[in-house]
Structure 1
């Protein structure tokens, strides 16, 4: 045991975080296979349990089997717990448990939290974790109360309470799971203004990231916000508005439906209309929104809003001959390089996974397979309805993509590459681009 602890001390943060997520996923799959988790008469295969656990921990929402129809109340509670752990992050939950137990968080624990939350310094990490946990409880409690007002009209009070808590946890953690049954998601409530707005609010705040929430609560003035917060809020609002308009004019849905899906497509995965009935144009709009995703330090996936913003500003600077920047601040060349690297690696993951699905699932259309892969990578959970019909091999591909999407391609690469920076610099020479 002593040797194992020593071994862990020298592992890079990316490797430990990845291992932690993998362990939680495997443990979740095991718990979902227990007889007490499966309803009488329902069948849950190993691959479907693994798929559900991965989707929950990676806060995706793609389902191979319906959660309400196959799992008991205990099984559904396990799914909700996996969503909560996945949304907050394994390291944040672990540190939170240590804080609750009164134990001191060492440098190693702080390093893992710093890596997981993508912050720049070690200062105030314990306070940040405490604030994250308190913020999560506040948002999810408020969301559960407002959701209960809606669900209690159709279900018995105790059942409605369970649905409300589950829905609030899933929405704030940007996971599109539901326990209404029949693979319906939220289609029965497409015209319910309270539930739509409650869900959208939970998704939005869960998706902008805890750092932005803390900054907004602290400064309460857009001009005084940090550059990161300004970038995230501006990009998020622009994408929501643009997505709403495009979806409204490409699909026969209400403005409420367009607004809801524009927000949900940014990694939440709830739907109030059947995605399988959307046109190719509408699916393409959703693909773009899903690929961009949420924001750093949030419960969502994708390449992140800040990455997209830096790419856009970098492209603009090439034509304007000005330095890359925004809001009277410059953006470092390191951030620009990282944004391009993340985008290229993410695109590569989507391309390879889509190709594999095209080989493994030739009976489905290309747009359906591409949509499924991007949804998995962005940890969204939207689907055209093909997920339950994928083969075992196809589901394994989606499982891997969900895992990569939640952790991030850069984190997975850092899991294996941990080399000191070379002191040697070669002569610089230009090459023709474009």
Structure 2
């Protein structure tokens, strides 16, 4: 009887926890290891959490540590984490001829982080169609590059894995040596294919479904307009700032790729640990903002960032908080500030804890790693494999909170309604 009283967000959280634990057990099996020896439990937990939370941080090298079976498990965990446990479950139910009742609709709405249940079936169809289409096309296009360096069988496996990791904004690679895409930093074809998958995977399924509907830009919803405009702005400004901070050390292609990848994808075509402090700060800001609601990415989300900026501007200029000839509701503004505040709190707490445990690393290295984990990005300055077991557990928890959202975690056990009776008001001085 108790299970019937579980709220949708609680079921979503428990679903993610169950998949993470299952993934940990599967990766712990000897068959998942390239050498046949069991991978340490803490590394299995860290890798499983990173995969389900579509992060990409790795404490062991997937390309040399995992067997073919382990790589398949990793790809499945990424796919499940990117789409969401509820989305996959509902898709299978409908495919089997079942019906989507009110309970499943609420679960799906919570899983996809949608503000309402309007057009839920259209979004669900878009989820299945877009995922299969983009990942299939991405695998075919990636094969063009990998087939030149690997045997046909291995190239197919690399292409499929890379496409799944790219569209789901998870920066895992199985190329070996923790090199990620450093060997392909000048390969414009692979960089453009990968960045295209990352961008579309980070737009959010609601936005993609609206774009596929063929409506003119004038009839797009406010969310679609905000997501597309902020996404474009962040890519452009991120590219310009990275090229400015790194100068001749990176090309325009590398600056563009890192600008796209920093927003929760985690692929690197340059050595992140060798970047300037200014360049790392640019990446931290991009990671913290992240992708868009209902997408495979993390961060505080582009819409949250947009609302915060619009509210600050409206306060400065003493005007209404508007965007694209629409007024942004006050409760949306409050939710944006709540998400931002909770996100900052999680990052500061995790950074402090890891700093206390890892005295040999610099503050900027630890902060970068924590923000990368919270934003489910996966970029790293190279310190992840050398972290202690306790720090890996802290980062795992940070990734989990970042994937599900700090507001969801903060209110997971909230059961009572807001009381009507309260205290009298009194002002306090602000600023």
Query: Which stretch shows the higher mean deviation, 274-283 or 125-134?
Result: 125-134
Matches within 5 A, 1:43-58: 44-58=39-53
Equivalent in 242, 250, 253 of residue 250 of structure 2 = 253
CA distance in 2, matches of 1:326, 1:124: 23
1:340 aligns with 2:341: no
Equivalent in 354, 372, 376 of residue 357 of structure 1 = 354
Partner residue, 2:120: 125
1:421 aligns with 2:404: no
CA distance in 2, matches of 1:407, 1:327: 29
CA distance in 1, matches of 2:83, 2:371: 22
Partner residue, 2:268: 271
Equivalent in 193, 198, 203 of residue 193 of structure 2 = 198
Matches within 5 A, 1:296-335: 296-335=293-332
CA distance in 2, matches of 1:122, 1:213: 16
The number of residues matched between the two structures is 429
State the Cα distance separating 1:108 from its structure 2 match: 1.3
1:237 aligns with 2:218: no
Find the residue that maps to 2:213 and give its secondary structure: helix
Find the residue that maps to 1:416 and give its secondary structure: coil
Partner residue, 2:389: 392
State the Cα distance separating 1:70 from its structure 2 match: 0.8
Query: Which stretch shows the higher mean deviation, 123-132 or 281-290?
Result: 123-132
User: Does the 8 Å CA contact 1:42/1:70 hold for their aligned counterparts?
Assistant: no
CA distance in 1, matches of 2:302, 2:97: 36
Q: Give a deviation string over 1:309-361, Cα, whole Å, max 9, x none.
A: 00000000011111101110100000000000000000000000000011000
User: Does the 8 Å CA contact 1:9/1:108 hold for their aligned counterparts?
Assistant: no
Partner residue, 1:40: 35
1:108 aligns with 2:108: no
State the Cα distance separating 1:218 from its structure 2 match: 1.5
CA distance in 1, matches of 2:310, 2:115: 22
State the Cα distance separating 1:429 from its structure 2 match: 2.9
Find the residue that maps to 1:381 and give its secondary structure: coil
Partner residue, 1:3: none
State the Cα distance separating 1:43 from its structure 2 match: 5.0
Partner residue, 1:179: 174
CA distance in 2, matches of 1:233, 1:426: 43
Q: CA RMSD in A?
A: 1.1
Q: Give a deviation string over 1:367-398, Cα, whole Å, max 9, x none.
A: 00000000000000000000000000010010
Equivalent in 89, 94, 97 of residue 99 of structure 1 = 94
1:27 aligns with 2:22: yes
User: Does the 8 Å CA contact 2:30/2:37 hold for their aligned counterparts?
Assistant: no
Find runs of 4+ consecutive structure 1 residues off by over 6 angstroms.
Answer: none
State the Cα distance separating 1:220 from its structure 2 match: 4.1
User: Does the 8 Å CA contact 1:171/1:268 hold for their aligned counterparts?
Assistant: yes
CA distance in 2, matches of 1:290, 1:121: 27
Structure 2: gaps spanning 5 or more residues: none
CA distance in 1, matches of 2:377, 2:114: 24
TM-score normalised by L of structure 2: 0.98
User: Does the 8 Å CA contact 1:270/1:381 hold for their aligned counterparts?
Assistant: yes
TM-score normalised by L of structure 1: 0.97
Q: Give a deviation string over 1:100-149, Cα, whole Å, max 9, x none.
A: 22122222111111112122333442342122111100010110010001
Partner residue, 1:366: 363
1:291 aligns with 2:288: yes
CA distance in 2, matches of 1:180, 1:294: 26
1:16 aligns with 2:11: yes
State the Cα distance separating 1:247 from its structure 2 match: 0.4
Partner residue, 1:228: 223
Structure 1: gaps spanning 5 or more residues: 1-5
State the Cα distance separating 1:76 from its structure 2 match: 0.2
